[in-house]
Amino acid sequence: MTDDVNNNTALPLAGIKVIELGQNIAGPYAGEILSSLGAEVVKIERPGTGDDARGWGPPFWRGTATTFQAMNHGKKSIAFDLKDPAQAQWLRERAAEADVFVQNMRPGSLEELGLGAEALRALNPRLVYCSLWAFGHKGPMRLAPGYEPMVQAFAGIFSINGAESGPSARVGMQVLDLGTGVWAALGCIAALLRRASTGQGCVVDTSLFETALGWLQVMMAGFHATGKQPERHRSGNPNVVVFQALPTGDGEIVVAAANDRLFAKLARAAGREEWTRDERFATNALRVQHKALLIPALEAVFRTRSTQQWLEALEALGIPCAPIQDFAQVLAQPQTEAIGIFQTIPGEELRIVGLPLSFDGERPRVRHRAPGVGEHNEALGAKAPG
């Protein structure tokens, strides 16, 4: 095990002890955030195969899926068969000394083992017990399992994603898993802050479904006001025009002319200053109303020049814009290098995204690689299974 590359005592959660019964992405990401902020995170895994995400590849890095590597660096691993009463008891004793317990196991499974919130908080009233659910901690679907695409579909995200006349589509990255991990970590930190004054922990609950509805709050407010299902706009925005990707002669560029002043500048850049005098385009509300007329005309103009030419022309007028880039282009950007968010795991060559936070100008460093299954059983005094 590579030693920590920096002293984590200056990090905000230094000294906080976390037990994580997390698998896949949401729970482990919550644990990963707490670990990156300085907490000691002990991950409990099943013997042999460990977290299912270890096999979620290709791609793999040194035999373990990169998905797992990204969500679990900096943690320690204990492999336990929690159906063994002795090993479950060891974990209960450990929880009695912990600050935070994070879990996203099958709903109801930990209660059956005496590791639910009520049982562990009876042993340790200061414990912050955080559960990540698929559909929420109450209601008829409380015990229902759920994965990212299922919940995106169920929550309505599919219905607003994709081309106007094409099939529905999911958001391409794990927006709900990762978002729920962030909410869980935020809830734990808030609970720890309150505990500092009350001396009492609490139960923190969040879910993929709640995260989805939280991300949809702007559109849901519109739906409640009008009763109208939002239309699909591909890269665009239903409430702001011009605010979308436009095709160029050799690619695409996102243009964000989000107010009347910027639209006037865009009309000038496009050589269509008459649009600023057209009553149909005089305000954003009117541009939204006449979007089907305006956007095709603008697309025709943008196809006449290259992406780089449009970037130079728009930036010269102060019009917010950006090229649509693939991952290699993102990594080649000077801005990406400047913020220093990509870090190499100590002792490895694998680069991952670090914590998207800095403290006094410094980003917490990745301290050590993701652990092997049960790598720390002996070091932490846990009897190995069997």
d(CA 115, CA 121): 9
Helical ranges in the chain per DSSP H: 26-36, 66-72, 85-95, 109-112, 117-123, 148-155, 175-198, 208-215, 217-226, 260-269, 284-289, 291-302, 307-316, 327-332, 334-339
Residue of 232, 236, 223 whose CA lies nearest to 287: 236
Q: The tokens of 226 are what?
A: 């009008």
Are 80 and 74 in contact by the 8 Å Cβ rule? The answer is no
DSSP 8-state assignment for residue 359? B
- Measured CA to CA in angstroms, residue 152 lies from 169, 203, 334 at distances of 9, 26, 34
For 188-208, the DSSP string reads HHHHHHHHHHHS--EEEEEEH
Are 254 and 263 in contact by the 8 Å Cβ rule? The answer is no
Are 130 and 30 in contact by the 8 Å Cβ rule? The answer is yes
Determine whether 177 is an active site residue. Answer: yes
The active-site residue, picked from 51, 84, 177, 326, is: 177
User: Helix 148-155 to helix 208-215 angle, to the nearest 10 degrees?
Assistant: 50
Q: Which residues are catalytic?
A: 177
